[in-house]
Amino acid sequence: MANHFARRTNLIKASEIREILKVTERPEVISFAGGLPAPELFPVEEMKAVCEAVLNEDGRRALQYSTTEGYQPLRELVANRMKQAGIDATDNNILIVTGSQQGLDLTGKVFLDEDDVVICESPTYLAAINAFKTYLPKFVEIAMDDQGMIMAELEAALKKNRKAKFIYTVPDFQNPTGRTMSVDRRKKLIELANQYDLLILEDNPYGELRFAGDKVPPVKSFDTEGRVIYQSTFSKVLTPGVRVGWLCASPDILQKYVIFKQSADLHTNTLAQMQVTKFIELYDLEVHIERIRKVYKLRRDLMIEAIKTEFPHGVKYTQPAGGLFLWVELPVWMNAREVLVRCLDNNVAFVPGGAFFPNGGNENTLRLNFSNMSEERIVEGIGRIGRLIKSMIHDKNRQ
């Protein structure tokens, strides 16, 4: 039977995060592995009222097929949110997708041929790597610092890679590092895209979860030639279970996405789109987001303090101003996958960082999620990881 499978089935492996999450379903496991929002913040009671209102007011429409582009009132609502973020948009610039993950997959379908080049941050979002890898591109990684992608290295890479199709970036509270690209670098990114004639995919699922510092305008707000395709989602600010995200781009680009979406799933869940719209009509989404920010800030602060106390000297870590993650660099000789094996034996989990580098390497890194665990479990879990790291360093020094 193996010979019947397409060649691409040998290229794509199960998501490392999803495989780890299978283990962390055990209640005794303290998990910093998934990019999971805090479920206790989900507006369950409000969504009950929303569901009833949608079905009472327009139930037949909610349960029927819909247009590929998306539910018109939701597209208008999203366009208004884009305007508030500094992006000039109308409903004609919006395509509703089944979570931002579908946006990544459709981007690969629309733009990538075999051996095309994808420029990305190093490290970058694991699920984006897997989505693009299906279409057999080459990945060129651009090093980062605390201000995001290093523009001098990006320009050098663009000079060498004339077949590059697009730059993929998560500029706000990046997954996996938590870093945010500075305003100056966002402007330079646009300048380089214009100069070298390529597109930018700006993936921004976390941008509204800022709890420190000043808000930074989206990359697309500096776009002068329609080169930026912006995508985001309601997963992190409402609930991930509704699977409603969106793309914002010029109509000629969106039309290509529409064609491929029609062949993928016809349209995004009509009922879910109407539920999101009705929630925003009935409730104050900004108040809900502010509640999320306060909880995540508390948990980030606790995690950082626990790392300072429990991790050995010399371990580096980021201090994100928002989002869901922070990034840890262990001593260069240490393999985070080996650390994970020992941690799982102690009922604590994280994601080894090597998975976030499309060309491999950097196995001494790891990603920690601070949004999903309670405050006491964060302190306990970081303590367990810290003790194991210290133990491994001690064993190394005794050799």
For the chain, residues with pLDDT lower than 70 are: 1-2, 11-21, 23-24, 399
Residue-level pLDDT at 19: 65
Residue-level pLDDT at 188: 98
Residue-level pLDDT at 58: 97
Q: Residues 39-61, buried b or exposed e (16+ Cβ, 10 A)? A: eebebeeebeebbebbeeeeeee
Residue-level pLDDT at 25: 75
Task: Choose among 268, 258, 308: nearest CA to 74.
Answer: 268
Which residues touch 271 (CB under 8 Å, ≥6 apart)? Answer: 54, 62, 63
Question: What backbone torsions phi and psi does residue 214 show, to the nearest 5 degrees?
Answer: -85, 145
Residue-level pLDDT at 5: 76
Beta strands in 234-373 (DSSP E): 245-248, 316-317, 325-329, 348-349, 351-352, 365-369
Q: CATH classification of 2-42+287-398, choosing from 3.90.380.10, 3.40.47.40, 3.90.1150.10, 3.40.50.1860?
A: 3.90.1150.10
Which residues touch 115 (CB under 8 Å, ≥6 apart)? Answer: 136, 137, 138, 163
First to last CA, the chain: 49
Could you read off the pLDDT of 321-356 as tens digits, one per residue? 999 999 999 999 999 999 999 999 999 999 999 999
Residue-level pLDDT at 15: 59
Residue-level pLDDT at 162: 86
CB atoms within 10 A of CB 11: 12
Q: How far is CA 157 from CA 139, 163, 186, 265, in A?
A: 11, 11, 17, 36
- Rounded CA gap, 149 and 120, in Å? 9
Per DSSP, the chain holds a count of helices (H) and strands (E) of 12, 14
CB atoms within 10 A of CB 240: 17
Residue-level pLDDT at 67: 97
Which residues touch 212 (CB under 8 Å, ≥6 apart)? Answer: 297, 321, 322
Residue-level pLDDT at 16: 62
CATH 3.40.50.1110 fits 44-282, yes or no: no
- Rounded CA gap, 195 and 135, in Å? 26
Q: How far is CA 377 from CA 13, 18, 349, 364, in A?
A: 31, 21, 12, 24
Residue-level pLDDT at 378: 98
- Per DSSP bridges, beta strands 245-248 and 316-317 are unpaired
- Token pair listed for 21: 């999450």
Residue-level pLDDT at 398: 77
Residues forming CATH 3.40.640.10 domain(s) in the chain: 44-282
pTM exceeding 0.85: yes
Helix (H/G/I), strand (E/B), else coil: 199: strand
Residue-level pLDDT at 394: 84
Residue-level pLDDT at 396: 80
Residues forming CATH 3.90.1150.10 domain(s) in the chain: 2-42+287-398
